[in-house]
Amino acid sequence: MAVFKDHKVSVNELLGLIPEALLSHLSTSTKVDYYSKVLHGKKVFYLLLYSILDNEKLSQRTLEDTFNYSGFKTIFNLDESETVRRSSISERLSKIDSGYFKEIFECMYNRFSESYSRPERDKYNLIRVDSTIVSEAAAKIKEGIDQKNGKKLIKYSVSFDGILPAGVEVFNAQSYASEEFALPEAILKQVAKDTEHRNIYIIDRGVQSTRTMKEFSEKKVKFVIRAKENRKHEEIKSLIETNQDLDIGDNLLIKDSIVKLYTGIPVNNKQGNIHHRQEKVENHFRLVVVQNKKQPEKVFYFLTNDFQLTAKEVADYYRRRWDIEVFFRFIKQELNVSHLVSLSKNGIEVMIYMTLIVAMLVLIYKKANNLSYKTAKRRFVLELRELITAIMIVFSGGDPSKVFKT
């Protein structure tokens, strides 16, 4: 049953893609259900899935109400007699193995991304990478990255392929306050899982370390990074040919050169203090500088280790990094990822993984039915509610076709 006649994919079809066999297998392999009488891993998965979709603002109380709601139990075929209290939910979120949810997320992404057509695979190999934070009620977080105001926060770095979130790493250690450490680790962990990837990683100015760029090149990780204007470099060769057209769409090409970059080497001076001496690395990189035609005061500097791209592709690819900002806004405003229902690091990790799983379902629905972010979320929830009603009508011996016009 599809509520909206013009839709190509229904919510019922998408829920059927949730890997039930995997949920059961992971329950055993991760031992997620040890010492749990009611809130088994699969039940927590479905509870959070439904609650993130159907509640404007999550809390432990709304999770309690949802678990005890007949409609929730009906759609996921759970025991009607089971009930829980919010204190039990809170304790379970703080202790349940977050790796269980991470593995489900990764499996579902692999499953969905395998359905991309070859042209889509070529289109979606641009991986936008950025970090955002969980900061609401941050003064109450016990384990997190310390801020100057005394509060703590949790950072998570997401890889986004243009349709779906492709990977996520959650950080609470102080060393990851800097993007120079968080983003490279997130990227290299994703690369390690897919050694045959053809991805190009699009990264903002948070990463400027020459050592990181050198490591990316040595591990065959292609990137486009927005560089700082005063970046020290040595030009080896200009790639701009004589009489080349410098008009590249929205921009004018100012520079396209092979360069060597400098990195700081820590050195002890005579007083025993450490300072950094600038040394040139031997790796070759490419510096592309463009000027916006409509706003000439805007000049953009890009560093890449891909010498096959045109200068226009370098600039255009970076502009598509904005997609991940739109995605972050979606999960914060529509899926309430910033509202904490658990203050433990473990519980926050679980909620982040589950939010991204829900986001995948909604975004597949969005793409298949050619909808906007907000419309996709709204219609997904409406269809889910009507699906519950239809199932309950059938269970009570009625005919849902007399209620819903299909």
Question: One digit per residue, pLDDT tens: the chain, 406 residues?
Answer: 456 777 888 888 888 888 888 888 888 887 788 777 788 888 999 999 999 998 888 889 999 999 999 888 888 888 888 899 999 999 999 889 899 999 999 989 988 888 777 676 666 689 999 999 886 554 677 788 888 777 788 899 999 998 999 999 999 889 999 999 999 999 999 888 876 778 999 999 999 999 999 999 999 999 999 999 988 999 999 999 999 999 999 999 999 999 999 987 766 666 666 666 778 889 999 999 999 999 999 999 999 999 999 999 999 999 999 999 999 999 998 998 877 788 888 898 999 999 999 999 999 999 999 999 999 999 999 998 888 887 767 666 665 565 555 4
In a domain, 140, yes or no: no
Is 259 in the same domain as 309?
yes
Is 224 in the same domain as 307?
yes
Is 347 in the same domain as 308?
no
Is 314 in the same domain as 344?
no
Is 296 in the same domain as 393?
no
Would you state the structure tokens that stand for residue 101, as one six-digit string? 């949810």
Domain boundary among 288, 320, 352: 320
In a domain, 286, yes or no: yes
Is 230 in the same domain as 289?
yes
Domain boundary among 286, 320, 354: 320
Domain extent for 310: 206-320
In a domain, 148, yes or no: no
In a domain, 308, yes or no: yes
In a domain, 159, yes or no: no
Please tell me the predicted confidence (pLDDT) of residue 392.
Answer: 67
Is 227 in the same domain as 298?
yes
In a domain, 366, yes or no: yes
Buried b vs exposed e over 277-292: b needs ≥16 C-beta within 10 Å? eeeeeebebbbbbbbe
Q: Give the span between the Cα atoms of 387 and 385, in whole angstroms.
A: 5
Is 222 in the same domain as 299?
yes
Whose structure tokens read 């959650």? 170
Q: How many CA atoms lie within 13 A of 216 on its CB side?
A: 30
Is 240 in the same domain as 312?
yes
Q: Give the span between the Cα atoms of 246 and 290, in whole angstroms.
A: 9
Q: Which of 29, 23, 35, 34 is nearest to 78 (CA)?
A: 23
Report the number of distinct structural domains present in the chain.
Answer: 2
Domain boundary among 320, 348, 378: 320
- Give this prediction's pTM: 0.89
Is 346 in the same domain as 313?
no
In a domain, 189, yes or no: no
Please tell me the predicted confidence (pLDDT) of residue 396.
Answer: 62
In a domain, 152, yes or no: no
Is 291 in the same domain as 390?
no
Q: Do residues 94 and 347 touch, judged by C-beta distance below 8 A? A: yes
Is 300 in the same domain as 355?
no
In 30-147, which ranges are continuous DSSP H helix? Answer: 41-54, 60-67, 70-75, 86-95, 98-113, 118-123
Strand 145-146 and strand 126-134: the pairing is: unpaired
Strand 152-160 and strand 145-146: the pairing is: antiparallel
